Amino acid sequence: MSGVWGNRLKLSIFGESHGKGIGVVIDGLPAGIELDLDFINKEMKRRAPGNKRISTSRKEKDEFNIISGYFNNKATGSPICCMIENTNQKSKDYESIRYIMRPGHADYTGNIKYLGANDYRGGGHFSGRLTAPLVFAGAIAKQILLKKKIVIGSHIKSIGNINDDTFNLTNIGSKELEEIIKKEFPVIDDYKGREMKEAIIKAKEDKDSLGGVIETAIVNLQAGVGEPFFDSIESNIAHMLFSIPGVKGVEFGKGFDITKMKGSEANDKFYIEKGNIKTDTNNNGGINGGISNGMPIIFNTAFKPTPSIGKKQRTVDLSKDENIEFSIKGRHDPCIVPRALVVVESVSAIALLDLIIERNGMSWIV
C-alpha cells in the first residue's frame, strides 16, 4: 500500500509527475477549524524552486485547489481533498529515455514492481513533486499545533562537507525557530550559508549534485505524547521521514553520536525548578521510551545528493538489456536540501498531530 498513512489522521496521496495532477485526501481533521490559506501558500512557496542559481529553473506553480471538506472558511469535518494540477510538464523529454534506468532513481525498481506499467515520465508517482500535497497537509497540521504553541522549525545543518552550527538542544525556542524559517537560506551561521550556496552553484556548473543534513526541532510539546513500542514518536516520525524521496538516515537527539558516550554522560538528568521538570542535557532528543518528556524534540534527516545529474553516467538500457552511457537532460535541482526543509517539518507535523489526537482526542484541538 503506497499512499495511505495514519491512525487518527489519515492521508491518502495520489498523482504522478506528468499526469493530470497530484493531491491528497486528509481524513480525520476536526470540524470547525479555520484554515489559514495564506499560511498554506507560504509553506507551499518554501517548497517551490526559489533562487534560480541554486535550484531548478522549472516553474511549478503548485496552486492548490480544495475540492471538499472546506466550507465557509472552515474545515467541515469531512475529508479534505486538495488537488494540484500539473501544468509545466515536458513529457516528451522522457520518451527517449524510457528504458534507460537512471542510477539512484526508482526507474528500475518501479519497472520491476509494476511490471512495466508504471508511468515512467519524470519519475511518475515516485517524483519529489508528490511532496507538494504533503506540504499542504503539513501546513494544516502546523496551524493546529501552533494554536497550542507547538512550533516546528529546521535549518540546513550541512551541505556536503560544510557544516552549520547546531541548535542548542536544551534551549532552542519558538522565536529562534520562527526567525530561522524566514531566512531565504535557513542556516544559523550565514557565513557558512554562503559557503554552502557557492558549493551548490559549483556542483551545478559541474553537472553534479550535493546532499546534506537537516536539523529539526519541535518545541513546547507537552510531556506524555507518543506510545511505547510500535507508535513511539521516533517510529512514527521516522516512518514519515523515510517516505520522503532521498532520505537515507534519521537520528534523534545525539543520534549516532550518543553511541560514543557513556551512560553517565548520555542520561539526561531530570531536575525540578519552580514546579517544572526538565533535563539538564537533551541527548535523547526529548523522548524517553518513545514518549515526549517536555524537552525539545530534536532530530536530523540525511538527504542524499539529487540523483538527476548532467554528468555522463553508465547504466542499463532495458529495451536492449545492454550496458550504455548516457546523461540526463532537463532542469534539475543541484541540491534538494533547501527545498526539503518544509517537507521534513510537514511530515513531522502530521505524524505528531496524529499521536496527539491519539492521546487527547479531537476535543483537544477545537
Residue 314, SS3? strand
Tell me which residues in 163-222 interact with its own copies (CB under 8 A): 203, 206, 208-213
Is residue 133 a contact point for its own copies (CB under 8 A)? no
Is residue 31 a contact point for its own copies (CB under 8 A)? yes
Spatial separation of the C-alpha atoms in residues 264 and 258, rounded to whole Å: 11
How big is the CA angle at 226 (ends 31 and 284), to the nearest 5 degrees? 135
How big is the CA angle at 253 (ends 140 and 290), to the nearest 5 degrees? 70
Residues 6 or more apart in contact with residue 13 via CB below 8 angstroms:
3, 22, 23, 24, 130, 133, 134
Is residue 306 a contact point for its own copies (CB under 8 A)? yes
Position among 59, 165, 194, 364 found at the interface with its own copies (CB under 8 A): 364
Q: What track of x and - describes contact with its own copies for positions 253 through 272 (by CB under 8 A)? A: xxxx-xxxxxxxxxxxxxxx
Is residue 229 a contact point for its own copies (CB under 8 A)? yes
Q: Residue 52, class by beta-carbon neighbours within 10 Å (0-12 exposed, 13-18 middle, 19+ buried)? A: exposed
Is residue 245 a contact point for its own copies (CB under 8 A)? yes
CB 197, CB 156: distance < 8 Å: no
Is residue 247 a contact point for its own copies (CB under 8 A)? yes
Is residue 293 a contact point for its own copies (CB under 8 A)? yes
Tell me which residues in 80-109 interact with its own copies (CB under 8 A): 80-81, 83, 101, 103-109
- Contact region for its own copies (CB under 8 A) — 39-47, 116-124, 140-148, 186-194? 116-124
Question: Angle of helix 131-147 relative to helix 337-360, nearest 10 degrees?
Answer: 50
Spatial separation of the C-alpha atoms in residues 123 and 321, rounded to whole Å: 20
- Contact region for its own copies (CB under 8 A) — 18-26, 44-52, 141-149, 176-184? 18-26
Of 176 and 188, CB closest to its own copies? 188
Position among 115, 184, 191, 319 found at the interface with its own copies (CB under 8 A): 115
